[in-house]
Amino acid sequence: MRGVCGRLESRIRYSAGIVYNNFPWPSPTDKQRTAIKAAAQAVLDARAAHPGASLADLYDPLTMPPDLVKCHQKLDAAVDAAYGYKGASTDAARVAFLFGLYQQLTSLQPTEGSKPKRRRSAPAVA
């Protein structure tokens, strides 16, 4: 989000049209989709296990409940698998990977290792 979204004062400004829709979406298999759904539900269940805590409490980096951390790690792994990502599990590495995918999808130049596409010749007009 830090790489593509706007700011409102010093805070990050969330907008689905600016932040989330700019990156390519994966094409997960049914098994991967099921794993993502299960991991996402586990995150929700872990949050519900701490009814007196606010989201600010739950996501404080110094006091985040260990069960919630583990659930998010499993969700990250499931999403990484859907993207075919095998790099470091840091935000910076994942963002670099996503920017690389975006560049491949939007660039008019062939990417390293890809074959240039052949153009079909236009049919002759009689």
Q: What is the pLDDT along the chain (126 residues), one digit of tens a residue?
A: 556 566 667 766 666 665 556 667 888 999 999 999 999 999 999 999 999 999 999 999 999 999 999 999 999 999 999 999 999 988 889 889 988 888 888 877 665 665 555 555 555 555
Q: Where are the domains of the chain?
A: 28-83
pTM > 0.75: yes or no: no
> What integer pLDDT is reported at residue 40 of this predicted model?
96
> What integer pLDDT is reported at residue 54 of this predicted model?
94
> What integer pLDDT is reported at residue 105 of this predicted model?
82
Q: Are 95 and 20 in contact (CB under 8 A)?
A: no
How do beta strands 11-13 and 6-8 pair?
Answer: antiparallel
Dihedral (Cα; 48, 54, 59, 63), 10-degree rounding: -90
Q: Using one digit for the tens of pLDDT, what is the confidence trace for 47-81?
A: 999 999 999 999 999 999 999 999 999 999 999 99
Dihedral (Cα; 112, 85, 21, 113), 10-degree rounding: 10
Average pLDDT, rounded, for the chain = 82
Return d(Cα 18, Cα 1) in angstroms, integer.
9
- 26 phi/psi in degrees, rounded to 5: -75, 170
